[in-house]
Structure 1
Amino acid sequence: MQKISMDSQPAAGLLTIAILGGTGDLGSGLAKAWARAGHRIVIGSRSPERAADLAAELGNACAAPYTQAVELADVVVIAVPFSSHEAVLSEIRAAAQGKIVVDAVVPLVPPRVSTVQLPAEGSAAQIAQATLGPGVRVVSAFHNVGAAKLHLGERVDCDVLVFGDDQTARELVTGLARQVALRGIDAGALANSAAAEALTSVLIGLNRRYKVKGAGIRITGLEEADPAGAGQ
């Protein structure tokens, strides 16, 4: 796979972001949005050719196997299907120590993906934290972002709820969310991620029922409390 040189540091405020599942709809959409914002992107994928093609399209990016992608990154985003979630977590556990891992995985169980089916552990995010261990700061976000809208080249007209038990990590991911959507909103503890993960199935049902694409969420009443957040 193609590599980028890591000899020089990104500009202030910019990160190297590894996206595992980076050739999928959500992963590639996030990659494009963050590449436009100036971040370095590492595409982690089981499809080397597709990953290399996307990296070439983005420019300041590379493709790498999952473990190497994690090693190169400041922040790791997991955007794989739920069926692959635990296997990927186990694979990257050692490489992820000391890093921020953003879990965007939703526990969808085909064929009833419009029905909420949360795991016994509570949420995909809680599985991630338990598997990766206390040396990894797991943040949960981007469950309710319409992937199709990310590919249009503009920020998605929805809010992104950000969950995590580490405030500094939550704040960093909230900032990244504001680069792909209208707002990133600090939604509290990682356990609260169950609400957003469950809501994804509801939104899928709304898309089908009302024949729309990318139904999202907006949290009302925050504009006055956090006027700066909406425009960042």
Structure 2
Amino acid sequence: MRVGVLGTGDMAAALGGAWARSGHEVFVGGRNTAAAGALAGRIGAAGHGTPAQAAEYGEAVLLAVPAGAAPTLAREHAGALAGRTVVDCTNPLHPGPGGVMLTTGAGESVAGLIGAAAPAARVVKAFNLVHVSMWDHPAGAFGPVPPAVPFCADDPGAAGHVTELITGMGWTPMPAGGLDRAAYVEATAAFVIGVWWDGGSPALAFPEPPRAA
């Protein structure tokens, strides 16, 4: 699959690198094209250039930019993103007096804002619940039961693209409903990251019921 990556930061490097290793054709786009070129060379991408070129390149396009910038970036490239799977991996968070807080309004999600900014795009929320360092692990590193990547999508074709990206990395797709559920996934990130910052393990809060199978 052709994948355009908009951004040159840690998530762009980790996910773009994982997808390049699993055989996808990755194109890195950044406002700083020198940084995009350096990242493309580091992860073995097929090419690099501007955000507009990355948006036009990919069947799937990753928005790997700060959460506050993602809807604006989507609006700037709405024409190029039309009909494409647009993956939102962002977390709209900031430190608050009681812990990590959401920057979005009640019931609002960054994924939804991206969808409103680029209404012809097929937006998917995914890859936001795991620390960036985990995406660098090779397929099979987690043992016989691969960990899951929850995702929210309205479009079946977009869900298929993201499922392919997840399974190629050696992870398990976990459908979490339509894009109207993305706010819950983003809120879960606030909980998970807050527990990490306090030195806890959020996985311990979700033991599987004995009759779950």
TM-score (norm 2): 0.84
The offset of 1:177, in angstroms, is 1.6
Distance apart, 1:182 and its partner CA: 2.6
Q: CA deviation at 1:211?
A: 6.3
Moved more, 50-59 or 65-74: 50-59
Q: Distance in 2 between matches of 1:211 and 1:45?
A: 35
User: Aligned to 1:162, which of 126, 151, 161?
Assistant: 151
Q: Deviations over 1:41-74 (max 9, x none)?
A: 1112233222211211233421111111111111
Residue 215 (structure 1) shift:
7.0
1:1-232 matches, cutoff 5 A: 15-21=1-7, 23-109=8-94, 114-119=100-105, 122-133=108-119, 135-154=120-139, 158-180=147-169, 182-210=171-199, 220=208
In structure 2, list runs of 5 or more residues that go unmatched.
none
Residue by residue over 1:98-136, the C-alpha shift from the partner in whole angstroms, topping out at 9 and shown as x without a partner, is 211111122123567712343356101110111101x22
In structure 1, distance between residues paired with 2:205 and 2:172:
11
Identical residues among aligned pairs (%): 30
Kept in 2: contact 1:101–1:136 (CA 8 A): yes
1:162–1:186: 8 Å Cα contact kept in structure 2? yes
Query: What is the alpha-carbon distance in structure 1 between the residues aligned to residue 138 and residue 18 of structure 2?
Result: 7
AA paired with 1:202? F
- Paired amino acid for 2:187: A
Q: How many residue pairs end up in the alignment?
A: 206
Q: Retained in 2: the 8 A contact 1:145–1:216?
A: no
